[in-house]
Structure 1
Amino acid sequence: MPAKKPAAEPVNQIPLPTGKSKKDLGLNDNKNIPIYSIAGIDIDLFRSISKQQIKLGSNITVLSGRNGTMKTSLMGLIAHPFTSEASDAFEKPLKTMLSEVFKLSPTHDTADYNYNLILESGNGEYIREPVRIYWVGDKTNRHRVVVSGSEKGDGNLTYNTSFLNLKRLYPLVDANAKLDTNNVYALSAQEAKELKDFYETIFPSSQYSSFTGVYKAKYKTTFAPSGSDVKYDWHSISSGEDNLGAIFNRLLGFQRAFQKGQKTGNGILCIDEFESSLHPVAQIRLFNYLYSWSSRYKVQVVLSTHSLGLISDIYSKHANNMAANRVSVNFISKSLASKGNIPILHNPPYHLAYKELTLEDPQQAAEARRIKIFCEDEIAVHFAKKLISSQRILKAVDFHSTLDPQNPTPGMSYTELKPLVSTCARFPVLLDGCLVLLDADVPNAFTSKIRNKDLFLVLPDDDNIALERRIIAWIINMDNGDPFFIKFGERDKFLDSFKQSGLESLTISDIMDEKVVSISKCKAWAVSDISKFKQYITHYCSKLSKKDEFVNSFLTAVNRLNSQLGIPEI
């Protein structure tokens, strides 16, 4: 049967490893625990999230959801319980204080918040480190964050972490930043080469010959294009270029901390509002760059985004990485919240992700888009519709039997389709977002020359003959007592109508042979009563063995076209 609509609930919600305490593993001091990676966090309670988990990918983790779903705060929970000596290119500590990420309210955040870090510590072992956040109102009027507890050896773990919020970076014009004219924070030749490659990869340009540091204590640490090739000075760089410089500054901090041959992990880089000031294509380029970079320097990247284009590309291009947990997508779902608890969905089906970000039912989106389907004539359109039959699929497509809506005699022969499809095989943009259904009698010599096989499907027939010829042969081949003749009239009446239309022979072997019975005579019979002929097609489709195979191929083609627009599968 054709593929069914995805279930309404996410699948494969596999829990994080439980993990053991450090004492169970014979470890005493958090500062000396070897960390190979962070598997995720297991949240007991944090604000309106209870008994939920965030699972981190070995390379990149994506947090997404609507505004007000605490994505930034959750990234803070991931990045905060660590400390390190690493610093960025401007000698500023990589470590970001929790207070720089989000503020806890003395009025509303008075409950005890508890979650557990799940750490991979080598040899297949996982450590479960509890973290408690609580309000101390009677003494210091502040929140405390306690890792493990208050015994000797407890406290922050040693691991490189950094949190970068692109949306909240101070613009250059507001930061009163200045150039590093004395090269106090100079890059090595290799680092300068990597910075140039980074910019050219994300924003391809021939103007990035050199860069200079731009900084303002506590507000701005970035790099700006400089040199004779640049058409503007550092004051005028775009916010996207500014953000790229800020990102590379953090990347460089992790790179400098990395030791060749290092077995343990090198840290976590959190980037909030990932898509800020970036063109959709630049977002995808940056994601792919970070994916490769994360493997090279053993850094897990965690990013938050609302970008449907990026999410769509991840599901389309990184499906294998998602399955292997190299890329992990976590949706904080307001639409599935129950009793005040917001669930976190790990790698949910794309149609759920789409609905979370657009508030639009995927089926309605597909119906609004409606893929154009071109057929040879109205008979082929009717045949295709009866084969498909599913209203869910038919509402998402729009059938055409002519390229000219003003044509008084709609329909195209395959010889008319031939230059169209052949041209589009060379210039596929002309049929972008469309699908051609060819009749079964189109010669293989024609279809074999079409390079892009995704542009067309062939209507099903066991012997690759035209539908009009097939229906005649099918009727003649049926026994006189078949229910078809009870419904539409006796068999002899049909034989007579065939001869009246000029068929040269009523023998099955002759009807199947174009040299004996011409297709023009078969078509003449079909159009003599087109309404009745369509009824015969409907009856024939109910008996056709290849129906399901064709429908699945058709649905696959439509979903492929929709996926190019970020629309979920039907």
Structure 2
Amino acid sequence: MQNNGVKITKIKITEFRRFQNVEFDIGDCITLISGQNGTSKSTLLGMLCQPFSFGVAQRKSAGATDNSKYTSNYHGQKLTEHKDLTGNLFIYTCENVFRLSKLHDTDPTKYMYRLYLKGDCITKESPIYDSGLLVRAQRRGEKKQIRFVAGPGISSEAGEGNFPHPVIYFGLNRHWPLALVKKMKIDSDPEIDAESRNWYIENYNSVLLLNESANQAEFITAAESTKRDFIGVSSRDYNSESFSAGQDNLGQILTAILSYKRLKSNLGEKYQGGLILIDELDSTLHADAQMRLLEMLCEAARNYQLQIVATTHSLYMLDKAFNSHLKTKIKVIYLKREDDRVVDSGFTSFDEIEHNLQVKATVPKIKSRDKVSLIFEDDVSKNMFFGIIGGSIKKYLNQVIMESLNAGSLKNLAALSARVPELSKVIFIPDGDVKSNIKKKNNLIFLPGDKRPETLVYECLYNLSEADPFWHACSGTGYSKQFAIVKYKANEKSKAWYKNWFKEQSPFWGKACKIAFEKWADSNKEMCKRFCEEFFEAFNKVLPGTLPKETTQKIIDKYSSSSVEEEDVAIHDTPSVCKKEKSKKTKVANENMQLSFLTQGESS
């Protein structure tokens, strides 16, 4: 059974250049590090490769067998005997990635971080199993220059240096043009097995989307330190000497993967995967090739237990990391500068990254809110509704007046709503005078009271005292009960009479007759409370979870209790019974209410 290999799980940085008290999770498969220029992306790559060493290549113990205290997996093996296909060791340090400044990188106390690892070969007995691998700086003798050392803690013993793990790093020097290489050797028959050659050509053609079945692998040796050796391609009409920068770049990455393929074959069961670090992964490749490269790297990481960490500025690659079938295999770290520090941006979407990389901002879109439509018999019914409910939920409602339809028609429309999708978000609200003749439905509720709104308001005002603050709160000059009620006399008050009376009085009651309907609601709290509860219940069935509970409860509470004693106002079929003399306590309360009404006026 194939093991999962050794993987970095997290880097926790105490301090390192612009990093301070920050940590980053590293993905098992591919991790893309992105950010604007100057956000220490390459520095982070160097920090990842620093504490690994596949064998000892320097000083007195160079070429010694492995004796790591972190894992016994490679004990007794000379790991430096294993080299990649270009003849280089699987060893890189941060100095291969970034240059240490003689002016600024001098204080060893300002460089410390931990690398946390996992793998089948790292047992609980390992000194880094829980605490990770500590990397810190120390001076090089008497010089001001610093160097980095690794260990389980501040002090370390033999076998407690770097962790034995193979690393290949690609910097931007891989793009050094072949045209500038003075000496170059091409081997058309490289010592590469047929399976690897076929794999190379297949993936080369696939990533670049080429239809060149006659391509053959060849090996390029550049006799200059500025250019890496790599496997290239010879076709019918060109070879590696005329490679474009993109072809060159891809060839080097494919060569690295084949190096791990060979290492896996050579180590057998001892193989624990490896690490590939790439600066500017997308560089020189067109958009579709970038996507295909990501797909190829994901497959290679799975087949050879590789962990691939790369920097990129490619919006195309980053978009695919968030919004394609590869999103479960790609981890994105986006770095951001805050003053003189570099931090984890915390971005969780491609949209945030795109805006930051392009230094742009977008005005937030106003989201269209789902609304419930209310259908009333007429404008007076609508005004009564809002006089009771108030205006706090208007943004959740569409109001429709259907003066051409009577209550029976509204009932029939309500019955159709179960079969007509367009009516699914509609509540029908006829006047209360028809409730005894029409059966209630989920989306059909009646205004409170058993009469038309015009009649209910008339009877309410009829029963008011002439000293009630209501009369002073109304707009206009000289408005009184005598003007509004006593002046109007009729032996028989018909529907038309009440409507005409209401129409003549309404200009004195403010916008939408708010003063009159609020007075009626205040005089009939229990009735209004039941109506509010019925309406909110109907609303939540039509559009669940939309109305804020605190808003609806506040409206209901308005009719549930009062801080002052209130008279019990009865609504009669005819206005023949007047109110009794108010108690002294009620008069005090009315005086307070008057002050409130006087501040509303016409603006209400």
For normalisation by structure 2, the TM-score amounts to 0.54
Shift of 1:543: 6.3
**Aligned partners of 1:220, 1:177: CA distance in 2, in Å?**
13
* Mapped pair 1:285 → 2:292: yes
RCO comparison, higher one (Cα < 8 Å, 6+)? 1
**Of 53, 62, 70, which aligns to 2:23?**
53
Aligned residue in 2 for 1:130: 134
Aligned residue in 1 for 2:367: 393
Could you tell me whether the CA contact under 8 Å between 2:9 and 2:117 is conserved in 1? yes
Equivalent runs, 1:114-193 vs 2, <5 Å: 114-120=112-118, 122-123=122-123, 125-136=129-140, 138-139=142-143, 142-148=145-151, 149=155, 151-166=157-172, 169-176=175-182, 178-181=184-187, 183=189, 185-193=190-198
**Aligned partners of 1:234, 1:360: CA distance in 2, in Å?**
41
Could you tell me whether the CA contact under 8 Å between 2:18 and 2:40 is conserved in 1? no
Aligned residue in 2 for 1:355: 355
Could you tell me whether the CA contact under 8 Å between 2:295 and 2:326 is conserved in 1? no
**Aligned partners of 1:264, 1:127: CA distance in 2, in Å?**
24
**Aligned partners of 2:219, 2:193: CA distance in 1, in Å?**
13
**Of 95, 101, 110, which aligns to 2:97?**
101
Q: 1:100 to 1:481 in 2, by over 3 A?
A: closer
**Aligned partners of 1:245, 1:320: CA distance in 2, in Å?**
25
Could you tell me whether the CA contact under 8 Å between 1:167 and 1:272 is conserved in 2? no
**Aligned partners of 2:382, 2:42: CA distance in 1, in Å?**
73
Aligned residue in 2 for 1:196: 201
Shift of 1:245: 0.3
The SS at the match of 1:151 is: coil
1:222-250 Cα deviation digits (max 9, x unpaired): 2332132xx43333222111100010111
Between 244-253 and 213-222, report the one with greater CA deviation.
213-222
Aligned residue in 2 for 1:74: 44
The SS at the match of 2:38 is: coil
**Aligned partners of 1:233, 1:549: CA distance in 2, in Å?**
66
Shift of 1:97: 4.2
Q: 1:35 to 1:157 in 2, by over 3 A?
A: farther
Q: 1:307 to 1:352 in 2, by over 3 A?
A: same
Shift of 1:274: 0.7
**Aligned partners of 1:545, 1:128: CA distance in 2, in Å?**
55
Q: 1:475 to 1:57 in 2, by over 3 A?
A: same
1:425-444 Cα deviation digits (max 9, x unpaired): xxxxxxxxxxxxxxxxxxxx
**Aligned partners of 2:368, 2:294: CA distance in 1, in Å?**
36
List gaps (5 residues or longer) in structure 2.
55-79, 389-399, 423-534, 548-604
Between 269-278 and 92-101, report the one with greater CA deviation.
92-101
Shift of 1:123: 5.0
Shift of 1:460: 9.1
**Aligned partners of 2:270, 2:346: CA distance in 1, in Å?**
28
**Aligned partners of 1:298, 1:348: CA distance in 2, in Å?**
27
Q: 1:341 to 1:137 in 2, by over 3 A?
A: farther
**Aligned partners of 1:211, 1:548: CA distance in 2, in Å?**
64
Aligned length, in residue pairs: 377
List gaps (5 residues or longer) in structure 1.
1-33, 368-390, 396-458, 462-469, 488-492, 500-504, 520-539, 552-570
**Aligned partners of 2:299, 2:5: CA distance in 1, in Å?**
21
Could you tell me whether the CA contact under 8 Å between 2:177 and 2:245 is conserved in 1? yes
Could you tell me whether the CA contact under 8 Å between 2:264 and 2:271 is conserved in 1? no
**Aligned partners of 2:414, 2:133: CA distance in 1, in Å?**
79
**Aligned partners of 1:309, 1:358: CA distance in 2, in Å?**
13
The SS at the match of 1:152 is: coil
**Of 200, 207, 212, which aligns to 2:212?**
207
Could you tell me whether the CA contact under 8 Å between 1:495 and 1:506 is conserved in 2? no
Could you tell me whether the CA contact under 8 Å between 2:29 and 2:307 is conserved in 1? yes
For normalisation by structure 1, the TM-score amounts to 0.57
* Mapped pair 1:227 → 2:235: yes
The SS at the match of 2:175 is: coil
* Mapped pair 1:92 → 2:88: yes
* Mapped pair 1:258 → 2:258: no
How large is the Cα RMSD of the aligned pairs? 4.1
Identity of aligned pairs, percent?
23
**Aligned partners of 1:510, 1:62: CA distance in 2, in Å?**
58
**Aligned partners of 1:308, 1:510: CA distance in 2, in Å?**
52
**Aligned partners of 1:61, 1:171: CA distance in 2, in Å?**
28
The SS at the match of 2:272 is: coil
Aligned residue in 1 for 2:454: none
Could you tell me whether the CA contact under 8 Å between 1:43 and 1:49 is conserved in 2? yes
Shift of 1:330: 1.5
Q: Which has the larger radius of gyration?
A: 2
The SS at the match of 2:302 is: helix
Q: 1:266 to 1:486 in 2, by over 3 A?
A: closer
* Mapped pair 1:314 → 2:321: yes
Alignment-mate amino acid for residue 354 of structure 2: Y
Aligned residue in 1 for 2:384: 483
Shift of 1:485: 9.6
